[in-house]
Amino acid sequence: MRSLCVAGFAAAALTLGPLAAHAAEAEVRLDRIAADPTDLASLQSGARTFVNYCLNCHSASLVRYNALRAIGLSEDQIRDNLMFTAEKVGMPMSIAMAPKDAKEWFGAVPPDLSVIARARGADWLYTYLRGFYRDPERPTGWNNTVYPNVGMPHALWRLQGERVLKEEAAVKDGKPILGEDGQPLRVATLEMVRPGTQSTAQYDRTVYDLVNFLAWMSEPHQVARKQLGVWVLFSLAIMILLAYLLKQSYWKHVH
């Protein structure tokens, strides 16, 4: 498992680097997903993908390893299967790479992913991680439909495979569709040229689980917070009712 985390990804320190950037991006249609913090199987799968493909270069310093007990894992399971960057389960999910070295090697410090889902949104992350394609004109050999001219390689390419961008004229009823300038509209599609180890459906599920985990990690106590909120509202309703009955009982004797 450790080999997956290290081999082939030393150059992927910017795997999600652009997520911290605020450069202008073209308008893209985001694929909608519904993150589910109660789906423990999905969260555990996402945690496995995260530590193998992301944590080598990106930290999650606001989250401690023992916080993963909330997704149904024991400390022994965390220690044996997910803990590669720390010695104790109470330590944060940090990385060994120094920021100074990262900036020198890659030109930018890979962002911390603790709250990246709140910063970007689950839909953006899900579409982004499924939008990579081969581009020989880029330094890394990769580009992205969501983040054009992306500055990092595709860390999950062995799972998804290699795709290329194809542009063709948009056609309706056998006739080309013209734009406002009178020129034929062109649509871009991604064509698979070398399949990965997973099918399209399997890869989409892997990315969903990863994004679901990132969304959970951004607010790990959201389920407990919402449950507590329900009880608080219920208690307030009871208190308001009792206060109203007390007021009625008191003022009925006042003329």
Residue 98, domain CATH? 1.10.760.10
Is residue 5 scored above 60 in pLDDT? no
What integer pLDDT is reported at residue 13 of this predicted model?
A: 40
Most confident of 6-10, 39-43, 81-85, 147-151: 39-43
In the numeric block, which tokens belong to residue 154?
């595709």
> Can you tell me the mean pLDDT for 208-212?
98
Is residue 82 scored above 80 in pLDDT? yes
Residue 180: exposure state from Cβ atoms within 10 A (0-12, 13-18, ≥19): exposed
Concatenated DSSP letters of the chain: -HHHHHTT-TT-TTTTGGGG--------PPPP----TT-HHHHHHHHHHHHHHTTTT--EEEEEGGGGGGGT--HHHHHHHT-SS-SSTTSEE--SS-HHHHHHHHSSPPPP-TTHHHHH-HHHHHHHTT-EEE-TTSTTSEEESSSTT-SS--TTHHHHEEEEEEEEE-EETTEEPB-TTSSBPEEEEEEEEEE-SS-HHHHHHHHHHHHHHHHHHHSTTHHHHHHHHHHHHHHHHHHHHHHHHHHHHHHTT--
Lowest average pLDDT, out of 23-27, 82-86, 92-96, goes to 23-27
For residue range 156-205, list pLDDT tens digits in order. 999 999 999 988 777 777 777 777 777 777 777 899 999 999 999 999 99
| Mean pLDDT, all residues of the chain | 84
Is residue 245 scored above 90 in pLDDT? no
Please check whether residue 188 lies inside any domain of the structure.
no
In the numeric block, which tokens belong to residue 8?
């082939």
Q: Are residues 62 and 111 in the same domain?
A: yes
Q: Are residues 155 and 237 in the same domain?
A: no
What integer pLDDT is reported at residue 227 of this predicted model?
A: 79
Give the total number of structural domains in the chain.
Answer: 2
CA distances 238 to 110, 228, 241, 245, 251, Å, are 50, 15, 5, 11, 20
Please check whether residue 57 lies inside any domain of the structure.
yes
Please check whether residue 170 lies inside any domain of the structure.
no
Q: Are residues 147 and 247 in the same domain?
A: no
Supply the pTM of this predicted model.
0.76
Q: Cα torsion at 148, 152, 157, 159 (round to 10°)?
A: -110
Lowest average pLDDT, out of 27-31, 103-107, 215-219, goes to 103-107
Q: Are residues 19 and 136 in the same domain?
A: yes
What integer pLDDT is reported at residue 181 of this predicted model?
A: 75
Partners of 236 in beta bridges = none
Please check whether residue 78 lies inside any domain of the structure.
yes
Lowest average pLDDT, out of 102-111, 130-139, 141-150, 240-249, goes to 102-111
For residue range 114-172, list pLDDT tens digits in order. 999 999 999 999 999 999 999 999 988 999 999 998 877 899 999 999 999 988 777 77
In the numeric block, which tokens belong to residue 243?
């206060």
Q: Are residues 32 and 59 in the same domain?
A: yes
What integer pLDDT is reported at residue 162 of this predicted model?
A: 96
CA–CA distance, 143 with 134 (Å, rounded to integer): 6
Please check whether residue 75 lies inside any domain of the structure.
yes
CA–CA distance, 59 with 51 (Å, rounded to integer): 10
Q: Are residues 136 and 253 in the same domain?
A: no
- Range(s) of the domain holding residue 230: 224-255
pLDDT band, very low/low/confident/very high, at 255 (cuts 50, 70, 90): low
For residue range 12-46, list pLDDT tens digits in order. 444 444 444 444 444 678 999 999 999 999 999 99
> Can you tell me the mean pLDDT for 96-102?
81
Please check whether residue 24 lies inside any domain of the structure.
yes
